[in-house]
A = this chain, B = another copy of it.
Amino acid sequence: MPWVKGRMAKRTRRTVEEARAAILDAAEAVLHEVGPAGLRVTAVAKRAGMAHPNVLHHFGTREGLLKALTTRTVERSTERAVRAIQAAVVAGPEHRKESLARVLDAVYEGEQGRLMAWLVLSRRVDDEERLDMEPLVKLTHAWRTSTLGPGDIQETRRLILLSALAMLGDSIAGEGLVESLELGTGEQGRRDFRAWLAGFLIEQIEGRRE
C-alpha cells in the first residue's frame, strides 16, 4: 500500500548523543514542573521539538526514559557536590565560611534540588541508585580537620546529614517558608539563610572543638 496521507514535515537529524541529550533536557524541564508521575512522553517530545515515537525510539519506554534521567541527575548532583568541596579544600582555612556557604549553594543548585526531591520522593533514587556518600564524608572530614583540628567523624556525618536534609528541604519549600517566616523575599532570602547556616555550622564545630 502506498503512503499518501499527510505531508511530511522538515526533519532535523541529530546524532544519537545529541538526540538523547536533547530529550533528557526536555524531560528534565518537564519533570521539574510535574514530577515523574506527571511526565508524559508526548510533552517531552513536544518540548524537544520532535514527534513522540522518536523519544520511544531512543529510550524504549517511558520508564526507560525516567531511568536514564534519574541516572544522569544523580551523577550530576554528586559530581557537583564533590567538586564544590574540593574547591573548598584548596581555598584554605582562611575562607572557611565563604567556602562552606558556596558548598551549600552548590549541592542542590538551581533546579537540581527539585529534581532530586522528585526522584527521591517517588522512590526512584535509593532503590537502584543508592547514593554513595562515603567520598563526600572523607573529603568533608579532611577539610574540617585541616581547618579546625581533629574532631569526631560521627559528628561530621551528622552535620552532613543536617546540611543535606536542610538543603533538600530548602529546594522544596525554601521560598515559601523563608517568606512565611519573614526572613526575606525570594532567592535573596534563601541565600541569606544559607550564608547564616554556614556560619552557624562553623560556630557549632568550633564550640565543640576542645
A19 — which chain B residues lie within 8 A by C-beta? none
Give A contacts to B, CB under 8 Å: 34-35, 37-38, 114, 117-118, 120-122, 125-126, 130-133, 137, 154, 157-158, 160-162, 164-170, 172-178, 180-183, 193, 196-197, 200, 203-204, 207
Judged by DSSP, the binding face of A is helix
Write the nearest CB–CB distance from A83 to chain B, whole angstroms.
Answer: 19
Instruction: Enumerate 11 A-B pairs (CB-CB under 8 Å) in ascending A order.
Output: A37-B37, A114-B121, A117-B117, A117-B121, A130-B180, A158-B183, A165-B166, A165-B167, A165-B168, A165-B174, A169-B169
Q: Chain B residue with minimal CB distance to A162?
A: B166
A132 — which chain B residues lie within 8 A by C-beta? 180
Q: Chain B residue with minimal CB distance to A127?
A: B176
Determine if A207 and B203 form an interchain contact, defined as CB atoms under 8 angstroms apart: yes
A180 — which chain B residues lie within 8 A by C-beta? 130-133
Bound together, the chains give a CA A180 to CA B126 distance in angstroms of: 9
| Neighbour of A125 across the interface among B34, B133, B176, B196, CB < 8 A | B176
Determine if B165 and A170 form an interchain contact, defined as CB atoms under 8 angstroms apart: yes
Write the nearest CB–CB distance from A196 to chain B, whole angstroms.
Answer: 6
A121 — which chain B residues lie within 8 A by C-beta? 35, 114, 117-118, 121, 172
Bound together, the chains give a CA A37 to CA B182 distance in angstroms of: 31
Given the known inter-chain contacts A164-B169, A166-B169, please indicate yes or no for A35 contacting B122, CB distance below 8 A. Answer: yes
A174 — which chain B residues lie within 8 A by C-beta? 165
A196 — which chain B residues lie within 8 A by C-beta? 158
Write the nearest CB–CB distance from A36 to chain B, whole angstroms.
Answer: 8
- Please give 19 more A-B residue pairs, beta carbons under 8 A apart, in addition to A35-B122, A131-B180: A34-B37, A35-B37, A117-B117, A117-B121, A118-B121, A120-B172, A121-B172, A131-B177, A158-B200, A160-B181, A161-B178, A161-B193, A164-B173, A164-B177, A165-B165, A165-B177, A167-B169, A168-B172, A204-B204
